[in-house]
Amino acid sequence: MKAQFYIASVQEGNGKTVFALALMRALSRRGLSVQPFKGGADFMDPLLHAIAVDTESVNLDTWLLSTHQVQHLYNHHGEMADVCIVDGHGGLYDGYSHFQGSDASIARCLHLPVVLLVNARNMASTVAPLIYGFRHFPEGAHLAGVVFNQVSSASHYALLRDACHEAGVECFGYLPNTEECKMSIRHVGLTATLRRQFSSDIERISLLVEQNTQIDKLLASTQQSFPCAYSLPYSSDMTDEELPHPSGHLRIALASDPAFNFIWQHRLQQLRQQGSIIRFSPVYGSDLPAADVVYLPGGYPELFARQLSRRHRLKQQLADFASSGGRIIAEGGGVVLLGRSLTTHSGGTAYPMCGILPLDFTLADMHLTQGYRQCNDCRGYEHRYFRLLNTPQDSQVVCNVKGSSVDSFHICQGNIIASSAHFVC
């Protein structure tokens, strides 16, 4: 038996991840081993989980992966932990298509109770029917209890707690509506300085969680057997990274630094089964290691455009590797490094990149583009701030990307595969 639960919210932007990070840190400070998970395909939140508890977070997504793959990942990574916490995404029932891929679908897949975070800033007794609806939603997730956010006073919390009890649901506490409960802007490359800032923010909010939530009650209410039971009928649909077999022989050069750090744990496992991983840093000027495959994951290259443009030796090494037939896989922000230029604002400098692909990128008039994507039989997730200034040639396009009305792309040029999304085939 161990405490295991899924932190979800009524809607996006309710402060769910801030609460999850603070609770993880509070439990870790008690000496408990916490295994963090992220519901959905988000890249940034798992990096923050690792800052909170110094343990790599694992994405669990029932749209990208099969039910049994999700259950396997959860059981494998949660085995040695004292507490398993899944930090959700969006609203509890918001998925790719209706409930598919929603927090509720993942919680039910793993048989986990849900701790629902409710933003009560402009509500009091009205939360009773809201919570009652979540509790009694047909075939919904099991609701273990509620935590309120943005509570203005002790009297406000008393009304919310009473309303919670009227709905027949446990109340685990609240977070106050203060500046102390807010975190820094999150569109950043995680440099050492920013990691320290995030850690300080998490520590401060975790003390408020200790003061205002009944952590012991929450842990006692979410105790259950581990591992989670596999769904029946069971099918052996495990992917390569989950099957025991000797490691491959490929040498895989993986870009890994504050500009390129968006990679799922299950993708890392897959790479390790295919060979040995050698990490290098385009931002800090590493040489390209001897490799059979170069993997450029997504991230925030736009925040390091000047540094990347000055890495002349590495850019030439990548160009020579590509021209000699070397295989390169680039996803999300990783594609930017292969292009001709990156412009960070309107009228700004076009910073030269490698020039391997005839593509130019800009951040001018660009907002975050994210969401699930599909390309033939491959499913993926896109998270980027840049856009293309030119259109890939028809001969380069591998397939049309579904799920996006913006300039998403999946192209092939020689031994190079470049995609605006991160795909799981």
Instruction: Read off the pLDDT of residues 202-233 as tens digits, 9 standing for 90 and up.
Output: 999 999 999 999 999 999 999 999 999 998 76
Q: Is residue 112 part of a domain?
A: yes
pTM summary value: 0.91
Please say whether the beta carbons of 345 and 387 come within 8 A: no
Q: What is the DSSP letter of 392?
A: P
At residue 405, the pLDDT reads 61
State whether 155 and 264 are in the same domain: no
At residue 246, the pLDDT reads 45
Tell me how many domains the chain contains. 2
Say which CATH number the domain at 30 has: 3.40.50.300
Packing angle between helix 44-53 and helix 192-212, nearest 10 degrees? 70
State whether 176 and 208 are in the same domain: yes
Closest CA to 131 of 140, 143, 141, 121: 143
Last residue of a domain, one of 209, 224, 239: 224
Percent of the chain with pLDDT over 70: 92
State whether 251 and 220 are in the same domain: no
At residue 247, the pLDDT reads 59
Q: Is residue 238 part of a domain?
A: no
Closest CA to 27 of 88, 80, 104, 81: 81
Closest CA to 336 of 264, 278, 262, 267: 262
d(Cα 281, Cα 262) in Å, to the nearest integer?
A: 14
Please say whether the beta carbons of 284 and 311 come within 8 A: no
Please say whether the beta carbons of 300 and 47 come within 8 A: no
State whether 106 and 255 are in the same domain: no
3-class SS of residue 212: helix
State whether 213 and 255 are in the same domain: no
Say which CATH number the domain at 299 has: 3.40.50.880
Instruction: Read off the pLDDT of residues 9-68 as tens digits, 9 standing for 90 and up.
Output: 998 888 999 999 999 999 999 999 999 999 999 999 999 999 999 999 999 999 999 999
Q: Is the pLDDT of residue 270 over 70?
A: yes
**Structural tokens at position 19:** 């609460």
State whether 261 and 320 are in the same domain: yes
Q: What is the residue range of 152's domain?
A: 2-224
Q: Is residue 235 part of a domain?
A: no
* Residue 98 CB neighbours (<10 A): 10
Pairing of strands 293-296, 250-255: parallel
Closest CA to 26 of 189, 157, 172, 225: 172
State the virtual CA torsion across 185, 191, 193, 195 in degrees, nearest 10: 70
